[in-house]
Amino acid sequence: MIIKVVEELKKHQSNNAEIVFVSGSFMPCLAPIANKLGVKHVLAIQLEEINGKLTGNILLPQTIGEGKAEAMNDFMRQHPGISLKSCYAYGDHESYLAMLLLVGNPIVVGDNVILTKTAFDKNWKILS
């Protein structure tokens, strides 16, 4: 499945799309992946740091559940030339649902029961 997602990413990049990772994971984990795949924008959890150590406390804005949609809306306000209706979003867990509902091209990855049912009901693409 990872290969399919990377293939989709490469298709978007070949069409000069602006790629944005939106994840409930944290930046030190995602940055190497984004760098390897040539992704410039990452909307992810920012952790509190005190005296050079991460505390585990999540700073706002967070990118979990509804926070993903809020982060996308914030990003879009900073990039007014991009329309949500022309955006693609990929999600593999129900925590991505609010974000998937924002875009014109939502795509479910994997077999999460809630997302798969929503995809069938709304005629969304499913990568499995």
Closest CA to 40 of 22, 25, 18, 62: 18
> How does pLDDT run across 56-100, given as a tens digit for each residue?
999 988 999 999 999 999 999 999 988 999 999 999 999 999 999
> How does pLDDT run across 28-58, given as a tens digit for each residue?
899 999 999 999 999 999 999 999 999 999 9
Residues ≥6 apart with Cβ < 8 Å to 30 = 21, 23, 42, 44
Beta carbons of 71 and 88 less than 8 angstroms apart: no
- 2-127 domain in CATH 3.10.20.600? no
Model confidence at 3, pLDDT cuts 50, 70, 90, reads: confident
For the chain, the structural domain boundaries read: 2-127
Beta carbons of 92 and 100 less than 8 angstroms apart: no
From first CA to last CA, the distance across the chain in angstroms is 6
- Residue the block writes with tokens 């959890």: 45
CA distance 88 to 91: 10
